[in-house]
Amino acid sequence: MSFTLIHQDKTTQARLGKLKTAHGEIDTPCFMPVGTQGTVKTLSPGELVEAGAQIILSNAYHLFLRPGMEVIKKAGGLHKFMSWDKPILTDSGGYQIFSLALLRKLTDQGVEFQSHIDGNRHFLTPEDVVGIQQGLGADIIMPLDECVHYPCSRDHAEIAMKRTLNWARRSQAVFKNERQLLFGIVQGSTYEDLRRECAQRIVDMDFDGYAIGGVSVGEPSNLIYNTIELVSPLLPQDKPRYLMGVGLPEDILEAVERGMDMFDCVVPTRYGRNGTVFTSEGKFTIRNAPYIEDFSSLDKDCACYTCKNFSRAYLRHLFNTNEILGLRLACLHNVHFYIALMSKIREAVVQDRFGEFKQEFLDSYNKCV
Protein backbone atom coordinates (compact mmCIF):
# COMPACT_ATOMS: atom_id res chain seq x y z
CA MET A 1 0.00 0.00 0.00
CA SER A 2 1.54 3.24 -1.14
CA PHE A 3 1.06 6.59 -2.88
CA THR A 4 2.75 7.44 -6.16
CA LEU A 5 2.96 11.00 -7.44
CA ILE A 6 2.56 10.60 -11.19
CA HIS A 7 2.54 14.16 -12.51
CA GLN A 8 2.30 17.78 -11.39
CA ASP A 9 0.76 20.51 -13.49
CA LYS A 10 3.42 22.87 -14.83
CA THR A 11 1.73 26.13 -13.85
CA THR A 12 -0.13 25.22 -10.63
CA GLN A 13 0.27 22.89 -7.64
CA ALA A 14 -2.36 20.49 -9.03
CA ARG A 15 -1.16 16.86 -8.83
CA LEU A 16 -2.00 13.50 -10.36
CA GLY A 17 -1.40 10.48 -8.16
CA LYS A 18 -2.30 6.87 -7.44
CA LEU A 19 -3.06 5.57 -3.96
CA LYS A 20 -2.89 1.80 -3.46
CA THR A 21 -5.03 0.25 -0.72
CA ALA A 22 -5.99 -3.26 0.33
CA HIS A 23 -9.25 -2.99 -1.64
CA GLY A 24 -7.92 -1.38 -4.79
CA GLU A 25 -6.20 1.61 -6.33
CA ILE A 26 -7.50 5.19 -6.26
CA ASP A 27 -6.63 7.78 -8.88
CA THR A 28 -6.21 11.24 -7.37
CA PRO A 29 -7.48 13.93 -7.21
CA CYS A 30 -10.60 12.04 -6.12
CA PHE A 31 -13.96 12.71 -4.50
CA MET A 32 -15.33 10.36 -1.86
CA PRO A 33 -19.13 10.15 -1.68
CA VAL A 34 -20.18 10.20 1.97
CA GLY A 35 -21.81 7.05 3.33
CA THR A 36 -21.96 8.16 6.96
CA GLN A 37 -23.95 5.19 8.26
CA GLY A 38 -22.64 2.61 5.82
CA THR A 39 -24.71 3.88 2.91
CA VAL A 40 -24.53 6.82 0.51
CA LYS A 41 -28.01 8.21 0.94
CA THR A 42 -30.55 6.98 -1.67
CA LEU A 43 -27.90 5.12 -3.74
CA SER A 44 -26.93 1.46 -3.99
CA PRO A 45 -23.31 0.26 -4.19
CA GLY A 46 -23.97 -0.81 -7.78
CA GLU A 47 -25.09 2.70 -8.73
CA LEU A 48 -21.98 4.16 -7.11
CA VAL A 49 -19.74 1.80 -9.09
CA GLU A 50 -21.57 2.71 -12.30
CA ALA A 51 -21.08 6.40 -11.49
CA GLY A 52 -17.34 5.80 -11.20
CA ALA A 53 -16.87 6.07 -7.42
CA GLN A 54 -13.46 4.71 -6.42
CA ILE A 55 -13.80 5.08 -2.63
CA ILE A 56 -16.49 6.07 -0.15
CA LEU A 57 -16.36 7.56 3.34
CA SER A 58 -18.13 6.22 6.41
CA ASN A 59 -18.21 7.47 9.98
CA ALA A 60 -16.91 5.53 12.98
CA TYR A 61 -19.02 7.50 15.48
CA HIS A 62 -22.32 6.66 13.80
CA LEU A 63 -21.43 3.02 13.14
CA PHE A 64 -20.17 2.56 16.71
CA LEU A 65 -23.58 3.70 17.98
CA ARG A 66 -25.65 1.89 15.31
CA PRO A 67 -25.60 -0.99 14.52
CA GLY A 68 -22.63 -1.40 16.87
CA MET A 69 -19.29 -3.10 16.47
CA GLU A 70 -20.46 -6.62 17.29
CA VAL A 71 -22.95 -6.65 14.42
CA ILE A 72 -20.39 -5.39 11.91
CA LYS A 73 -17.70 -7.81 13.10
CA LYS A 74 -20.13 -10.74 12.82
CA ALA A 75 -20.93 -9.61 9.28
CA GLY A 76 -17.23 -9.88 8.40
CA GLY A 77 -16.39 -6.17 8.50
CA LEU A 78 -17.85 -3.04 6.98
CA HIS A 79 -17.10 -3.98 3.36
CA LYS A 80 -19.14 -7.17 3.57
CA PHE A 81 -21.83 -5.62 5.76
CA MET A 82 -22.61 -2.96 3.15
CA SER A 83 -21.63 -5.03 0.09
CA TRP A 84 -18.93 -2.63 -1.11
CA ASP A 85 -15.68 -4.21 -2.30
CA LYS A 86 -13.78 -1.01 -3.09
CA PRO A 87 -11.79 1.17 -0.66
CA ILE A 88 -13.42 2.79 2.38
CA LEU A 89 -12.12 5.69 4.46
CA THR A 90 -13.59 6.05 7.94
CA ASP A 91 -13.62 9.34 9.77
CA SER A 92 -12.94 9.07 13.51
CA GLY A 93 -16.22 10.77 14.40
CA GLY A 94 -14.47 13.52 16.34
CA TYR A 95 -16.42 16.25 14.57
CA GLN A 96 -19.71 14.42 15.14
CA ILE A 97 -18.96 13.92 18.84
CA PHE A 98 -18.36 17.63 19.25
CA SER A 99 -21.32 18.73 17.12
CA LEU A 100 -24.02 16.05 17.66
CA ALA A 101 -23.52 14.64 21.14
CA LEU A 102 -26.04 15.92 23.68
CA LEU A 103 -23.43 16.41 26.39
CA ARG A 104 -19.68 16.00 26.09
CA LYS A 105 -16.62 16.45 28.25
CA LEU A 106 -13.15 16.64 26.77
CA THR A 107 -9.99 15.79 28.63
CA ASP A 108 -6.50 14.95 27.42
CA GLN A 109 -7.38 11.32 28.08
CA GLY A 110 -10.32 11.24 25.67
CA VAL A 111 -13.93 12.33 25.25
CA GLU A 112 -17.01 11.47 27.27
CA PHE A 113 -20.28 12.03 25.45
CA GLN A 114 -23.96 11.28 25.54
CA SER A 115 -25.37 9.64 22.42
CA HIS A 116 -27.64 11.84 20.33
CA ILE A 117 -29.66 8.68 19.54
CA ASP A 118 -30.60 7.19 22.92
CA GLY A 119 -28.87 9.34 25.53
CA ASN A 120 -26.48 6.56 26.65
CA ARG A 121 -23.11 7.76 27.89
CA HIS A 122 -19.83 6.65 26.33
CA PHE A 123 -16.17 7.38 26.87
CA LEU A 124 -13.68 6.96 24.02
CA THR A 125 -9.93 7.38 24.03
CA PRO A 126 -7.84 7.87 20.87
CA GLU A 127 -6.79 4.23 21.26
CA ASP A 128 -10.45 3.15 21.36
CA VAL A 129 -11.18 5.05 18.15
CA VAL A 130 -8.30 3.33 16.34
CA GLY A 131 -9.58 -0.02 17.61
CA ILE A 132 -13.10 0.71 16.38
CA GLN A 133 -11.87 1.55 12.89
CA GLN A 134 -9.61 -1.49 12.79
CA GLY A 135 -12.67 -3.54 13.69
CA LEU A 136 -14.60 -1.93 10.85
CA GLY A 137 -11.81 -2.95 8.45
CA ALA A 138 -11.61 0.40 6.65
CA ASP A 139 -8.72 0.89 4.23
CA ILE A 140 -7.89 4.39 5.50
CA ILE A 141 -8.56 5.44 9.08
CA MET A 142 -8.42 8.80 10.82
CA PRO A 143 -7.26 9.45 14.39
CA LEU A 144 -9.43 11.19 16.96
CA ASP A 145 -8.85 14.94 16.78
CA GLU A 146 -10.42 18.05 18.26
CA CYS A 147 -12.16 20.18 15.66
CA VAL A 148 -13.11 23.71 16.72
CA HIS A 149 -15.75 25.88 15.12
CA TYR A 150 -15.19 29.31 13.59
CA PRO A 151 -14.75 31.82 15.08
CA CYS A 152 -12.53 30.42 17.81
CA SER A 153 -10.20 32.16 20.24
CA ARG A 154 -6.49 31.56 19.78
CA ASP A 155 -6.18 29.99 23.23
CA HIS A 156 -8.94 27.49 22.48
CA ALA A 157 -7.47 26.72 19.05
CA GLU A 158 -4.02 26.12 20.57
CA ILE A 159 -5.38 23.74 23.23
CA ALA A 160 -7.29 21.80 20.56
CA MET A 161 -4.24 21.68 18.27
CA LYS A 162 -1.97 20.36 21.02
CA ARG A 163 -4.58 17.80 22.06
CA THR A 164 -4.86 16.69 18.43
CA LEU A 165 -1.09 16.16 18.32
CA ASN A 166 -1.14 14.20 21.57
CA TRP A 167 -3.99 12.02 20.34
CA ALA A 168 -2.20 11.50 17.01
CA ARG A 169 0.89 10.16 18.80
CA ARG A 170 -1.21 7.83 20.91
CA SER A 171 -3.17 6.64 17.88
CA GLN A 172 0.01 5.87 15.99
CA ALA A 173 1.44 3.96 18.96
CA VAL A 174 -1.43 1.42 18.91
CA PHE A 175 -1.88 1.26 15.14
CA LYS A 176 -0.55 -2.05 13.87
CA ASN A 177 -2.29 -3.20 10.72
CA GLU A 178 -0.50 -3.68 7.41
CA ARG A 179 -3.81 -3.70 5.53
CA GLN A 180 -4.81 -0.21 6.68
CA LEU A 181 -3.44 3.30 6.29
CA LEU A 182 -3.46 5.86 9.11
CA PHE A 183 -3.56 9.56 8.21
CA GLY A 184 -2.52 12.46 10.45
CA ILE A 185 -4.72 15.56 10.78
CA VAL A 186 -3.55 19.18 10.81
CA GLN A 187 -5.59 21.49 13.07
CA GLY A 188 -5.09 25.08 14.22
CA SER A 189 -8.22 26.95 13.11
CA THR A 190 -7.39 30.11 11.12
CA TYR A 191 -4.19 30.88 13.06
CA GLU A 192 -1.24 30.54 10.71
CA ASP A 193 1.38 29.89 13.38
CA LEU A 194 -0.73 27.09 14.90
CA ARG A 195 -1.37 25.51 11.51
CA ARG A 196 2.32 25.67 10.66
CA GLU A 197 3.38 24.16 13.99
CA CYS A 198 0.80 21.40 13.77
CA ALA A 199 1.73 20.52 10.19
CA GLN A 200 5.43 20.31 10.99
CA ARG A 201 4.92 18.15 14.07
CA ILE A 202 2.40 15.84 12.37
CA VAL A 203 4.75 15.36 9.40
CA ASP A 204 7.56 14.45 11.81
CA MET A 205 5.40 11.54 13.02
CA ASP A 206 5.48 10.05 9.49
CA PHE A 207 1.86 9.09 8.81
CA ASP A 208 0.69 7.30 5.66
CA GLY A 209 -1.11 10.44 4.53
CA TYR A 210 -2.12 13.86 5.83
CA ALA A 211 -5.42 15.67 6.19
CA ILE A 212 -6.33 19.30 6.73
CA GLY A 213 -9.15 19.31 9.28
CA GLY A 214 -11.12 22.10 10.89
CA VAL A 215 -12.06 23.80 7.63
CA SER A 216 -15.53 24.55 6.27
CA VAL A 217 -16.75 25.04 9.84
CA GLY A 218 -18.30 28.47 9.34
CA GLU A 219 -15.38 30.50 8.03
CA PRO A 220 -15.52 32.39 4.68
CA SER A 221 -14.06 30.73 1.61
CA ASN A 222 -11.01 32.99 1.45
CA LEU A 223 -9.88 31.75 4.88
CA ILE A 224 -10.30 28.13 3.77
CA TYR A 225 -8.14 28.82 0.70
CA ASN A 226 -5.55 30.64 2.83
CA THR A 227 -5.29 27.64 5.15
CA ILE A 228 -4.80 25.23 2.23
CA GLU A 229 -2.20 27.53 0.66
CA LEU A 230 -0.30 27.67 3.94
CA VAL A 231 -0.43 23.98 4.89
CA SER A 232 -0.21 22.13 1.59
CA PRO A 233 3.46 23.02 0.84
CA LEU A 234 4.39 21.81 4.35
CA LEU A 235 3.13 18.29 3.61
CA PRO A 236 5.33 15.64 1.94
CA GLN A 237 5.18 15.40 -1.85
CA ASP A 238 5.09 11.60 -1.70
CA LYS A 239 2.04 11.28 0.59
CA PRO A 240 -1.66 11.85 -0.18
CA ARG A 241 -3.25 15.10 1.01
CA TYR A 242 -6.87 15.05 2.13
CA LEU A 243 -9.05 18.14 2.62
CA MET A 244 -11.79 17.11 5.03
CA GLY A 245 -15.41 18.10 4.44
CA VAL A 246 -14.96 20.24 1.31
CA GLY A 247 -17.08 20.98 -0.60
CA LEU A 248 -18.67 22.78 -3.49
CA PRO A 249 -17.23 22.35 -7.01
CA GLU A 250 -15.54 25.76 -6.93
CA ASP A 251 -13.93 24.93 -3.57
CA ILE A 252 -12.57 21.64 -4.90
CA LEU A 253 -11.03 23.39 -7.90
CA GLU A 254 -9.34 25.96 -5.66
CA ALA A 255 -8.01 23.19 -3.40
CA VAL A 256 -6.71 21.07 -6.28
CA GLU A 257 -4.92 24.15 -7.60
CA ARG A 258 -3.22 24.40 -4.21
CA GLY A 259 -2.05 20.77 -4.19
CA MET A 260 -4.80 18.76 -2.45
CA ASP A 261 -5.64 15.20 -3.56
CA MET A 262 -8.70 13.85 -1.73
CA PHE A 263 -12.10 15.34 -0.92
CA ASP A 264 -15.36 14.38 0.75
CA CYS A 265 -18.60 16.23 1.36
CA VAL A 266 -22.29 15.52 1.94
CA VAL A 267 -23.21 18.26 -0.55
CA PRO A 268 -24.06 16.09 -3.61
CA THR A 269 -26.62 13.94 -1.78
CA ARG A 270 -27.85 16.55 0.71
CA TYR A 271 -28.47 19.09 -2.03
CA GLY A 272 -29.96 16.39 -4.25
CA ARG A 273 -32.48 15.34 -1.61
CA ASN A 274 -33.56 18.98 -1.35
CA GLY A 275 -34.01 19.34 -5.11
CA THR A 276 -30.80 21.19 -5.99
CA VAL A 277 -28.82 19.77 -8.89
CA PHE A 278 -25.30 20.57 -10.10
CA THR A 279 -24.69 21.01 -13.84
CA SER A 280 -21.96 22.26 -16.15
CA GLU A 281 -23.89 25.55 -16.26
CA GLY A 282 -24.30 25.91 -12.51
CA LYS A 283 -26.64 24.60 -9.85
CA PHE A 284 -30.38 25.19 -9.73
CA THR A 285 -33.46 24.05 -7.80
CA ILE A 286 -35.52 21.63 -9.86
CA ARG A 287 -38.69 22.31 -7.84
CA ASN A 288 -39.00 25.79 -9.31
CA ALA A 289 -41.71 26.87 -11.77
CA PRO A 290 -39.49 27.50 -14.83
CA TYR A 291 -39.05 23.74 -15.24
CA ILE A 292 -42.76 22.80 -15.47
CA GLU A 293 -42.51 22.28 -19.24
CA ASP A 294 -38.75 21.99 -19.61
CA PHE A 295 -38.24 18.65 -21.35
CA SER A 296 -34.47 18.93 -21.62
CA SER A 297 -32.13 16.86 -19.47
CA LEU A 298 -30.62 18.24 -16.28
CA ASP A 299 -27.25 18.70 -17.99
CA LYS A 300 -26.59 18.39 -21.71
CA ASP A 301 -22.97 17.44 -20.94
CA CYS A 302 -23.84 14.63 -18.52
CA ALA A 303 -24.07 10.92 -19.39
CA CYS A 304 -25.56 9.69 -16.11
CA TYR A 305 -28.69 7.48 -16.00
CA THR A 306 -30.83 10.43 -14.88
CA CYS A 307 -29.76 12.71 -17.73
CA LYS A 308 -30.02 9.99 -20.38
CA ASN A 309 -33.58 9.06 -19.45
CA PHE A 310 -35.50 11.86 -17.73
CA SER A 311 -36.38 15.51 -18.25
CA ARG A 312 -36.29 18.46 -15.91
CA ALA A 313 -40.08 18.59 -16.10
CA TYR A 314 -40.35 14.99 -14.92
CA LEU A 315 -37.95 15.51 -12.01
CA ARG A 316 -39.84 18.63 -10.98
CA HIS A 317 -43.03 16.60 -11.01
CA LEU A 318 -41.45 13.91 -8.82
CA PHE A 319 -40.24 16.43 -6.25
CA ASN A 320 -43.50 18.32 -6.13
CA THR A 321 -45.47 15.11 -5.61
CA ASN A 322 -43.01 13.89 -2.95
CA GLU A 323 -42.06 10.81 -4.94
CA ILE A 324 -38.93 9.08 -3.61
CA LEU A 325 -37.63 8.47 -7.13
CA GLY A 326 -37.02 12.21 -7.50
CA LEU A 327 -34.57 12.19 -4.60
CA ARG A 328 -32.75 9.16 -5.97
CA LEU A 329 -32.43 10.54 -9.48
CA ALA A 330 -31.17 13.92 -8.27
CA CYS A 331 -28.64 12.35 -5.91
CA LEU A 332 -27.45 9.95 -8.60
CA HIS A 333 -26.91 12.83 -11.00
CA ASN A 334 -25.08 14.96 -8.41
CA VAL A 335 -22.71 12.17 -7.39
CA HIS A 336 -22.05 11.40 -11.06
CA PHE A 337 -21.39 15.11 -11.69
CA TYR A 338 -18.81 15.29 -8.88
CA ILE A 339 -17.01 12.12 -9.92
CA ALA A 340 -16.98 13.19 -13.58
CA LEU A 341 -15.56 16.56 -12.50
CA MET A 342 -12.66 14.79 -10.78
CA SER A 343 -12.00 12.74 -13.91
CA LYS A 344 -11.87 15.94 -15.99
CA ILE A 345 -9.54 17.50 -13.44
CA ARG A 346 -7.14 14.54 -13.66
CA GLU A 347 -7.18 14.75 -17.46
CA ALA A 348 -6.41 18.47 -17.34
CA VAL A 349 -3.51 17.94 -14.92
CA VAL A 350 -1.85 15.31 -17.09
CA GLN A 351 -2.16 17.71 -20.05
CA ASP A 352 -0.60 20.58 -18.02
CA ARG A 353 -3.67 22.73 -18.52
CA PHE A 354 -5.37 22.69 -15.14
CA GLY A 355 -5.49 26.49 -14.90
CA GLU A 356 -7.22 26.73 -18.28
CA PHE A 357 -9.65 23.96 -17.38
CA LYS A 358 -10.53 25.63 -14.09
CA GLN A 359 -11.33 28.92 -15.81
CA GLU A 360 -13.35 27.21 -18.57
CA PHE A 361 -15.34 25.25 -16.00
CA LEU A 362 -16.08 28.29 -13.85
CA ASP A 363 -17.05 30.44 -16.85
CA SER A 364 -19.67 27.85 -17.77
CA TYR A 365 -20.66 26.95 -14.21
CA ASN A 366 -21.28 30.54 -13.18
CA LYS A 367 -23.89 31.08 -15.90
CA CYS A 368 -26.76 30.38 -13.50
CA VAL A 369 -25.10 30.29 -10.06
Which candidate in 9, 208, 251, 264 is catalytic?
264
DSSP string, 204-217: HT--SEEEE-S-SS
Q: Are 24 and 15 a contacting pair, CB within 8 Å?
A: no
DSSP string, 43-86: --HHHHHHHT---EEEEHHHHHHTT-HHHHHHTTSHHHHHT--S
Start-to-end Cα distance in the chain: 41
Give the orientation angle of helix 249-257 with respect to helix 354-365, to 10 degrees.
Answer: 160
SS3 202: helix
Among 152, 129, 143, residue whose Cα is nearest residue 227: 152
Active site annotation includes 206: no
Distance, CA of 27 to CA of 109 (rounded, Å): 37
Q: Residue 59 — φ and ψ, nearest 5°? A: -120, 120
Signed CA dihedral, 253, 258, 259, 265: sign only: negative
For residue 191, CA distances in Å to 148, 160, 204, 224, 231 come to 12, 12, 20, 11, 11
Active site annotation includes 264: yes
DSSP string, 278-329: EETTEEEETTSGGGTT--S-S-TT--SHHHHH--HHHHHHHHHTT-HHHHHH
Lay out the sheet containing 3-8: strands in order across: 3-8, 15-21, 24-28
Write out the catalytic residue numbers: 91, 264
